[in-house]
Amino acid sequence: MYNLFKLELYKIFKRPRTYLSFAAITALIVIIQIGLLKDGKEYISFVLADLGNSFEINGNLCNGYFVCFCILQLLLIHVPLLIALIAADMISGEANMGTLRLLLSKPITRTEFVLAKFAAASVYTLLLLIWVAILALFVSMAIFGTDDIFLVKNNYAVQIAKDDIFWRYIGAFFFAALAMLTVAALAFFLSQFAENSIGPIVATMSIIIVFTIFSTMSIPIFNKIKPYMFTTHMVAWKEFFDVKVNADNESIVGTIQRPDKIINSALILIAHIVGFVGISVYSLKKKDILS
Amino acid sequence: MKKIIIVCLSSIVLSFTVNAQDADALVKKVKAKLEQVNDYVAEGKMKTDVAFIKAPVGRVKVYYQKPNKLKLVKEKGISILPKGGVSINSSSVLGLTNYTAIDAGEQVLNGTKVKVIKLLPLDEASDIVITTLYIDEGQLLIKKSATTTKENGSFEMEMYYGNYANLGLPDKMVFSFNVKDYKMPKGVTLDFDDDMKSEEKLKLKKKKGRVEFIYTNYIINKGIDAAIFKS
């Protein structure tokens, strides 16, 4: 199984499209960083427009931590497409090239075959996320410096002290890894029902787009189904950037306002990953391989 | 009868004039006490208490130079202060030069008898509409002030004295102000998952905000580099 895993990794990183994803991520992040470097103050003024009428907020607001938060907010909606490009091709690509039957004729079980393929897709997903972390967090910290982070939410604003932020990003990236692995698992699951990769890629993105629209619209009928959609839970990384306050309304360093929400969402995402991969194993075992 | 009315009216006018003179004299005495301080650097903590802002306690330095130069520097991090109206020392409360002082009687404030004096600016261009001072006559200390402005709303300042009471410098100062409702569009925050309970939202509607300064150390009359006020 380990040999197959290595082989799958080799195949992933041999394809030019793999590097296209890294290039696309780099371009997107660099564009956002240049934009904020040039007009960060204007962007901050826009974001803080409501508060700015009543308060003077001074300091390095457009710092590396804030820039990274903005990038993650924007990018974690688009990264799934880049993940689907590879994960949705894992089995359908073999079927398309006619190599699936050949691969399954090797002395490995179908379970090992699925797990090795999914493990390779997961490594790609995690490397992509690590690349996002390097560019969005560490490069932004180097360019924009570090300071407290000031974030506006729908009903309140949160200021987190500089020394209390980095560990939150570690948590947020771990959570984002779970979210992206869920996307990889979905794309991987869909990839075995097609003879080419276009179908599963489009299907994965369609599911994510439709679910995200449901998740973002505050319509009562949608609110009832929101908790059952994995896209609702994918954004729970933001919970790392909310703090508890004491009776005097002072932020308590090192706290998270809703840790239960993070744990609940993480468990739901893990359940989705296990579910998608489990069904993939089951259905491939039952499948009559003709290509 | 006419004589009686004239005497009564005269005595009323006279009492107002005397009271106004007393009030003015008291304000001048307090000013004189504060004027012993040419400059200071105060170190301490700043606590921002606004219902819809979660902020940590920060360390601040306040630089003051006579007559009205004032600069607040947060040692590290972001500072949030109410716009326009922050007068974080006693001198700025008495910053008015052209005013009428009116004696508004006496009150008991935190167990101390204080004289209530209203300052009305005579300059029509002044942003301040009225300032009410609560002065401890015995110690010549401003215990509280309430100011109404044309552009920056109303705010109050409460001062608590300790080691530097002889110079009129407080150990603790609480600045209270009115706040507007806060609501950010989801398109700006990109925060679409709004599962906050209505009672939690109601708590955020508290109309008063406070900024508390707790000073631990003053360096007085040692001179301050003018560049600090320019930056």
What are A133-152's pLDDT values in tens digits? 999 999 999 999 999 999 98
State pLDDT tens for residues B208-226.
Answer: 888 888 998 899 888 888 8
**Structural domain contains residue A245:** yes
Contacts of B184 in chain A (CB under 8 A): 50, 152-155
pLDDT given at position A77: 74
d(CA B218, CA B62): 9
| Threshold 0.90, pTM exceeds | no
Q: Do A215 and B192 touch (CB under 8 A)?
A: yes
Q: Is the Cβ pair A53, B54 closer than 8 Å?
A: no
pLDDT for B16 equals 47
- Which pLDDT value is given to residue B182? 66
- B 83-112 → A contacts, CB under 8 A: 83, 86
Q: Which residue of A has its CA nearest to B54?
A: A158
Q: What digits encode the pLDDT tens for the residues A146-196?
A: 999 999 888 888 999 999 999 999 999 999 999 999 999 999 999 988 888
**Percentage of chain A lying above the pLDDT 70 cut:** 99
The pLDDT assigned to B14 comes to 45
CB atoms within 10 A of CB A102: 12
> Which residues, in sequence order, are CB contacts of A61 under 8 Å at separation 6+?
A44, A48, A147, A150, B78
Residues of chain B found within 8 Å of residue A156, distances taken between Cβ atoms: 51-54, 182, 204
Task: Give A177-210 as a DSSP string.
Answer: HHHHHHHHHHHHHHHTT-SSSHHHHHHHHHHHHH
d(CA A143, CA A36): 11
The CA distance from A131 to the nearest CA of chain B, in Å, is 23
Distance CA A183, CA A209 (A): 12
CB pairs under 8 A between A and B: 129
Predicted confidence at residue B18, as pLDDT, reads 46
Report if residue A205 sits inside a domain. Answer: yes
The domains of chain B, with CATH numbers, are 2-230 (2.50.20.10)
- Structurally, chain A folds into a number of domains equal to 1
Give me the phi and psi of B214, to 5 degrees please: -120, 110
pLDDT computed for residue A149 by the predictor: 93
Please tell me chain A's helix, strand, coil percentages from 3-state DSSP, rounded to the nearest 5.
75, 5, 20
pLDDT of residue A278: 95
Per-window interface: B 172-191 vs A, CB < 8 A: 179-180, 182-184, 186, 188-191
Domain encompassing residue A177: 2-286
Q: Which residues of chain B have pLDDT under 70?
A: 1-21, 84-96, 182-196, 201-202, 204-206, 231
How far is B126 from chain A, CA to nearest CA, in Å?
20
In a domain, A291, yes or no: no
Cα–Cα distances in angstroms (integers) from residue A274 to residues A121, B207, B226, in the given order: 14, 49, 65
Tell me the pLDDT band of A284, cut-offs 50, 70 and 90. Answer: confident
Average pLDDT over residues A237-253: 90
Closest chain B residue to A57, measured at CA: B80
